[in-house]
């Protein structure tokens, strides 16, 4: 019988790709999502790719009563992958309390229900934002965390602390925190991808929307950083590669192969690329010219960061495989499909 996995935020960008990979690996998936930054149509597209439409319930996990009622009605869940969270760095600076309330309360509600309903395993969607601006690059899992540059980043840091303290206090719980670097791209089918509601907060959707004519120009935030071309440097990872790491992490917990009740893994490519390198990469991969303009730095952004992925490569047996051009082309194919561009 297929093992049942709860995926919170499963109609979102990374969540939907992970649901596909889980279903294609033989798991039964139940999604909870409040659809605050995603669309119900994603369920049909997941079904087109994987052949199975996952079970779905719409509510916000910060609502304790609804969360508890969900677990009462859904017995037999063996693990949770927790994506559901507000995630825009810039917005979190403007409305911090919304971010703390939503991101932290939802996690605590889930942990309470894990204990009450005997769901021992969680894979948590964390972020490289917990490293702040590191003094030494690349960052390893042992790199000290720093004060977050944004309330969003702080919710990830505090969530990790909540998880670590919880598995220490309640030995029946096991958790893996996956610290993502920058997920980009779309499923090769062009049926699911990143589709932010409103103005995109991330680089690649802004690039594709500019190329599609939805945005007049792409703003590059800063060209005076201490980097080779002055623009900020990140580790950009294909979303399908990232999704596969979650399947590997779930199997590690379910098979009892975890070496501690709380583990952390960096998920990236191990390469740092500047914003301008990504812009040029998009033009190279697609043949489209971008109208971009250098503007002032953005609040909350770090200068440069990329991952040392040795630990995830060796311990999880996982590695990012897809290159930049293939990834950017997949993002453009997705954007064209959404906009009906030939």
- Catalytic positions, written as ranges: 152
Listed residue (73, 7, 67, 21) closest to 192, CA to CA: 21
d(CA 274, CA 230): 8
CA-wise closest residue to 122 among 170, 62, 68, 72: 170
For the chain, the 3-state helix, strand and coil shares in percent, each to the nearest 5, are 40, 20, 40
55-82 burial, b at 16+ Cβ within 10 Å, e below that, comes to ebeeebbbeeebbeebbeebeebbbbbb
Task: Report the SS3 class of residue 176.
Answer: strand
CA angle 92, 62, 72 (to 5 degrees): 155
Contact status, residue 199 vs residue 146, Cβ threshold 8 Å: no
Instruction: Give exposure, 204-238, as e/b (b: 16+ Cβ within 10 Å).
Output: bbbbbbbbbeebeebbbbbbebebeeebbbbbbbb
* Nearest-angstrom CA–CA distance, 304 and 149: 13
Give Cα 104 distance to the centre of its chain: 16
- Residue keyed to tokens 């859904």: 74
Q: Which two tokens stand for residue 99?
A: 């971010």
| Interatomic CA distance for residues 259 and 80, integer angstroms | 19
């Amino acid at each position: 019988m297929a093992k049942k996995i709860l995926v919170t935020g499963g109609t979102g960008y990374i969540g939907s790709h992970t649901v596909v990979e889980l279903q294609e690996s033989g798991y039964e998936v139940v999604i909870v999502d409040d659809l605050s930054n995603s669309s119900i149509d994603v369920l049909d597209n997941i079904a087109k790719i994987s052949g199975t439409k996952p079970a779905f319930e719409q509510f916000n996990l910060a609502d304790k009563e609804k969360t508890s009622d969900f677990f009462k009605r859904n017995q037999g869940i063996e693990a949770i992958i927790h994506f559901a969270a507000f995630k825009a760095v810039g917005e979190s600076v403007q409305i911090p309390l919304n971010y703390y309330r939503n991101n932290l309360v939802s996690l605590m509600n889930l942990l309470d229900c894990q204990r009450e309903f005997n769901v021992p395993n969680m894979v948590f969607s964390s972020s490289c934002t917990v490293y702040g601006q590191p003094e030494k690059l690349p960052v390893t899992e042992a790199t000290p965390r720093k004060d977050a540059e944004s309330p969003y980043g702080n919710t990830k840091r505090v969530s990790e602390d909540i998880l670590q303290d919880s598995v220490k206090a309640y030995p029946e719980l096991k958790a893996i925190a996956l610290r993502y670097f920058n997920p980009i791209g779309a499923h090769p089918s062009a049926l699911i991808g990143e589709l932010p509601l409103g103005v995109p907060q991330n680089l690649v959707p802004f690039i594709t929307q500019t190329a599609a004519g939805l945005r007049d120009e792409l703003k590059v935030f800063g060209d005076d950083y201490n980097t080779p071309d002055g623009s900020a440097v990140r580790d950009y990872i294909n979303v399908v590669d990232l999704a596969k790491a979650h399947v590997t992490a779930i199997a590690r917990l379910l098979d009892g192969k975890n070496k501690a009740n709380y583990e952390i893994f960096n998920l990236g490519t191990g390469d740092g690329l500047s914003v301008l390198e990504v812009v040029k990469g998009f033009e190279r991969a697609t043949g489209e010219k971008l109208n971009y303009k250098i503007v002032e730095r953005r609040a909350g952004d770090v200068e440069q960061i990329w991952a040392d992925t040795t630990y995830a490569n060796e311990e999880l047996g996982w590695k990012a495989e897809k290159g930049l051009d293939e990834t950017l082309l997949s993002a453009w194919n997705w954007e064209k499909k959404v906009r009906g561009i030939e």
